[in-house]
Amino acid sequence: MDIRPLSDHIVVKPISEEKTVSGIVLPDTAKDKLQRAEVVAVGSGILLDNGLRASLEVTVGEVVLFRSDAGQKVRINDTDYLLLREGDLVAVLATASVVA
């Protein structure tokens, strides 16, 4: 990837297509306000007042939930990504609950 996020920023690749257990694809209008994405890059962490860095709680490869109005859209090599702050994230999904 040609982008390296700074500080407490992360780069995620949105998971746009959601399927129900029975295989029905949900349109954008039927989705919840929380969106899912896979973390593809993380920053080095926020710089604290004492000069140390607080590492981020998320790692590359995890699937996260975030508000649909959060972040900035970025297009790199014809692929759409979102640039978020760690504080924009709501939760990390367990890998077993991710439906491909």
Confidence of residue 100 (pLDDT cuts 50, 70, 90): very low
Supply the pLDDT for residue 10: 96
Number of independent structural domains in the chain: 1
Note whether residue 71 is domain-resident: yes
> Which pTM was predicted?
0.76
Is 3:41 a contact under the CB 8 Å cutoff? yes
Q: What is the CATH number of the domain that holds 16?
A: 2.30.33.40
pLDDT in tens, 68-89: 889 999 999 899 999 999 999 9
Burial 57-95 (b: 16+ CB within 10 A, else e): ebeeebbbebeeebbeeeeeeeeebbbbbbebbeeeeee
Note whether residue 1 is domain-resident: no
Confidence of residue 28 (pLDDT cuts 50, 70, 90): low
Mean residue pLDDT of the chain comes to: 84
Note whether residue 3 is domain-resident: no
Token output for 8: 């407490």
Note whether residue 23 is domain-resident: yes
Give residue 62's domain range: 9-94
Note whether residue 46 is domain-resident: yes
Note whether residue 54 is domain-resident: yes
